[in-house]
Structure 1
Amino acid sequence: MSSLTSNWNRLSAKLNSSKKQKQERHSVTHGKIKKTNKVPKNETSLHTEKVEKAIDNVIKEESLLFSILWANEGYITQKDLQNRTITLPSASNLNESRKTAPGKYLAVDCEFVGVGPEGAESSLARISVVNYYGYVIYDRFVKPSERVTDWRTWVSGVTPKHMKDAVTFREAQEEASKLFDNKIVVGHAVHHDLEALFLSHPKHAIRDTSKFSEFRKISKGKTPSLKKLADHFLNIKIQSGEHSSIDDARASMLLYRLYRKEIEQQFKLKRSN
């Protein structure tokens, strides 16, 4: 839910800033600057409603990914995606459910910050791992090994305050290595995440949504963005503002489960050639 909190803070700050600007509009009279009257209440209310609606949309889109993954066993169909009713598990269900175990399939996504001159180089700052049902198995902020020169908060969602409870790179690497052992690792351009962790993984145990031919059709054979795939195939909008590695991992898992049969068939065909 850290992505939700960051989006709320960002939108709230934007709202407060906008209100202040409107309430303190200046006009020039006899060479002096004076403040005009406050914005009519109805205009402020409309702006508030607009922000609240945007926040509601963020909540809905993020919750929908988890809801669909959690509610369905096996393959997920287009019919399952059409059910937009969000049903999330209760705390008691989470404690008792087998769906909270790592299982055979894990989806991973990482966020990065900039290091070096002008933040041109990337350093791991967060890793999130979810299971087949979208349940978060591991989610940690990671202390960059070099001095951060660009937090890239607008896209990474990472800020200096997240480093307070962050783990070291070695800790994140070791935990990820343990989790991925004997697992099918799912992700979008997942080789980037593995490289960032300095981990290798057997090719036969990787399912990369960026390489599936059906997905690449919408970008004319080029590598499609995860955001574009989620919008086109899931009708779910992600990465509207700051990214969430949890949401991105869930989106990758949902895409995989939606086309699991076809992805596995294509994978077997490539291996046999």
Structure 2
Amino acid sequence: MSYPIVDDPLSSNTARLSISQNEIEEENPRSRVKDLLNSNDVYSLERRNSAVSLNSFAEEDESHNLPSAKSSPKKILQQKRRRSSNQSLNTATPPIKKERKVHKKKLKKQLAIPSIEFQTIDDKEHSKRFPFRNLRSLVLHIFNVPTGQKMKWCKIDHVDKIKNIVICSVNGLDVEPAITEEFKINELLQKIPIENLELTDELSFIKQNFKNVIRTISPGGKDTLYQPLDSISNIPLTKNEKKLILDKSKQDKITIKDLLLNESQLQQYDYPITKVDESWSETITPIVEERESKIFALDCEFCKAGHLQVLTRISVIDFEGEVVFDKLVKPEEEITDYVTKYSGITEELLKDVTTTIYDIQLLFLSTVFKNDILVGHSLESDLKVMKIVHMNIVDTAVIYEHNRGPPSKPSLRWLASNYLARDIQIGEDDGKGHSSIEDALTCLDLVKLKILEGRCFGTNINEIPIFERLFRTRTNETEKNFKSMVISYCKNPSNSEEYVDKHSITNDDEILEILNQSSDKFPNFSIIELKDLEYNLKWSLPSEFYDGKLDHDIKESHKRVNTNITKIYEILPDNTLFLVCSQSKNPSRMYSLQRIRKNFQMLEKNGILDLETLPNEEKWDVFKNDELLNETNLARESLLFMRLKTTTATVNNND
């Protein structure tokens, strides 16, 4: 039986489906390309550099290779394996992981704004003015340095957010209200509202940026005022720390130039820095430029002419201990007391002497030049009597310290006994007096010993600079970049260390230049000294190198101070604690009384004091003593303004 031939499309489709899967793969051009790429190294390298993805091949192959309903399990397994292989060729970027959501509490802490608030402590110890020295604890607390004490007087929120502290000293802000019957109720308050101050329009920055002022008291004794910033800059040491410092000091070699008094010290110890009148002389630069600096030791002996000290002997020796000259001097004034017990001078010794003080000045100026170094003990007295100005001084009464510390000075006799095991000035006991050559040699030997033993030898190692402590307590790598900075009026500041940069300025405007240069990496802790107002008020003598405005116009000085502290504040980075401190009462009378007392005691010590010949203003009595105590209490009064600069102003940030 024969069947007719029918042109049926289904038949032809069925025929095509009967073709094996392998034949389809052989005829599929994409499969051949893929096999070629997988087997050829060159093509493999080109594939990595190509922008064409193999995903498209794999996806289309899968659509071609979908198993039919009648496919065998073996074929289905082969196709699944091919799909797995194709997926391994997929080079697409994996899906991006979803960022973890920050916890609300953690986010709140990250966005927190720090604040600070002064809190008055209600007890007998803190019932009066706030001790200025307590600011040291605040600095250490903010920078996470253990102090062993809880700070009760200040509340700080988010202290870890405060990254910088700047303390500006602006002496002369005498803006505290006078004590009246109305104000007596609040006279014991440590913190008073800013509107209670007698601020002029020229001090607008203080009016606008501080909510309160803290009434403080500067460090000092009943008749002495200490430098307020020194109480912040130094921290008491432990016994182990003292030993380590002395050992290190001996290893760090110094020269005699490291022992020179700086400009500030010369003023502090009352050295003559300018000629008083035409009878005075000043050391000059040597004519021969190649002449090297030399070192001389000097000592003088004095007698009394009324209430004046007059030069009667001078001895100068060189660094090798050889006597350069030793001269007796006949004063113009009539000697009323030879003070032989101390001077060793008698009337007989001076009987045939014709050398005058003018001869000594010529001899001294032809021997000692401006660049030479003079060594001696409290040489300010010697230079005043000689009427000589010389600036390169090494004073053994300064480089060695009294057990009680400054302002007390050690005697030369005590230093010789304690450090040189040498008995000097024994003539004082038998009435024969001192030897100026012996004293000069002793000073020279003390300086040589100091150079050998190190800068800290002979000093009271009781404190460490706060800058070093802040630097040494840093732990992790980021904190090790901690840096401090001091900007002050000091002609010869001690060298900058790895932990503190020291800058000397000649006027207040230079402060802004230094701060702008430091803006990229602003120091963590800074102390800045502004002197414009203090000098224009005549509260202290301007430094020799001061070149700022000196018009004594207080209104204009207030404007300049206001401009400078405004610009300083603008430069500060966010989260900086800005402190402005000011000695608010005139210390001039206190300094004057201290000089009168010192001169009177020196006259009394050196011999018979004829009170009748002394002017009343130079006499020291119980009335002047009481006046000194009152003036010292006034001079210690000071003010503190505190503000925390943040991105968002808050009430507690303006204390």
TM-score (norm 2): 0.24
Which string of whole-angstrom CA distances, capped at 9 and with x for unpartnered residues, describes residues 86-124 of structure 1? Answer: xxxxxxxxxxxxxxxx971100000000111xxx32111
Q: 1:132 to 1:151 in 2, by over 3 A?
A: same
Distance 2:372 2:328 in 1: 23
Could you say which residue in structure 1 is the equivalent of 2:405?
A: 220
Q: CA deviation at 1:220?
A: 3.3
Considering fraction of residues, name the structure with more helix.
1
Tell me the secondary structure at the aligned position of residue 108 of structure 1.
strand
Say whether 1:173 aligns with 2:364. Answer: no
Letter of the 1:168 counterpart: T
Q: CA deviation at 1:269?
A: 5.4
Q: Superposed, which structure 2 residues align to 1:138-217 within 5 Å? A: 138-163=325-350, 164-181=352-369, 182-202=371-391, 205-212=392-399, 215-217=400-402
Residues 304 and 339 in structure 2, CA contact (< 8 A), matched pair in contact too: yes
Preserved CA contact (<8 Å) 1:114 1:148: yes
Deviations 1:196-252 (A, max 9, x none): 1111112xx21111111xx21435331111111111111101111110110000100
Q: Which residues in structure 2 correspond to 1:41-60 (within 5 Å)?
A: none
SS at match of 1:127: strand
Residues 218, 133 of structure 1: alpha-carbon distance in 2 compared, 3 angstrom cutoff: farther
Partner of 1:249: 440
C-alpha contact (below 8 Å) 1:256/1:263 kept by paired residues: no
Secondary structure in 2 aligned to 1:254?
helix
- Structure with higher Rg: it is 2
Match 2:320 to one of 109, 115, 133:
133
Contact 1:186 1:208 in 2 (8 A): yes
What amino acid sits opposite 1:187 in the alignment? G
- The answer for unaligned runs of 5 or more in structure 1 is 1-74, 76-101
Aligned to 1:4: none
- In the TM superposition, residue 157 of structure 1 has moved relative to its aligned partner by 0.5
Number of corresponding residues: 167
Q: Secondary structure at the match of 1:216?
A: coil
Alpha-carbon shift at residue 258 of structure 1 (Å): 0.7
Does the CA-based 8 Å contact 2:402-2:409 persist in structure 1? no
Give 1:166 shift: 4.5
Which of the numbers 401, 422, 447 marks the counterpart of 1:236? Answer: 422
Distance 2:436 2:455 in 1: 23
Q: Using the alignment, how far apart are the partners of 1:254 and 1:174 within structure 2?
A: 27
Tell me the distance in 2 between the aligned counterparts of 1:149 and 1:271. 49
| Per-residue CA distance 1:113-138 (angstroms, 9 max, x = gap) | 0111xxx3211110000111211101
Q: Please give the TM-score of this superposition, normalised by the length of structure 1.
A: 0.56
Instruction: Tell me, in whole angstroms, the C-alpha distance in 2 between the residues paired with 1:229 and 1:123.
Output: 26
**Residue identity in the other structure for 2:401:** R
Which of the numbers 295, 316, 329 marks the counterpart of 1:105? 295
* SS class of match (2:330): coil
Q: SS of the counterpart of 2:358?
A: helix
Instruction: Determine the C-alpha separation between the residues in 1 that align with 2:405 and 2:446.
Output: 19
Query: 1:271: how far off?
Result: 7.2
Determine the structure 2 residue equivalent to 1:82: none
Name the SS of the counterpart of 1:249 in structure 2. helix
Contact 1:103 1:131 in 2 (8 A): no
User: Aligned partners of 2:321, 2:493: CA distance in 1, in Å?
Assistant: 28
1:145 deviates by 1.7
Alpha carbons of structure 1 residues 166 and 229: separation in structure 2 relative to 1, 3 Å: farther
TM-align CA RMSD: 2.9
Alpha-carbon displacement from aligned partner over 1:49-107 (angstroms, at most 9, x marks no partner): xxxxxxxxxxxxxxxxxxxxxxxxxx9xxxxxxxxxxxxxxxxxxxxxxxxxx971100
Does the 8 Å contact 1:111/1:127 carry over to 2?
Answer: yes
1:224/1:139 CA distance change after superposition, 3 Å: same
Q: Is the 8 A contact 1:216 1:224 kept in 2?
A: yes
In 2, the alpha carbon distance for the partners of 1:264 and 1:187 equals 19
Could you tell me how far 1:268 is from its partner in structure 2? 6.8
| Shift >6 Å, 4+ stretches | 264-268
SS of match in other structure, 2:325? strand
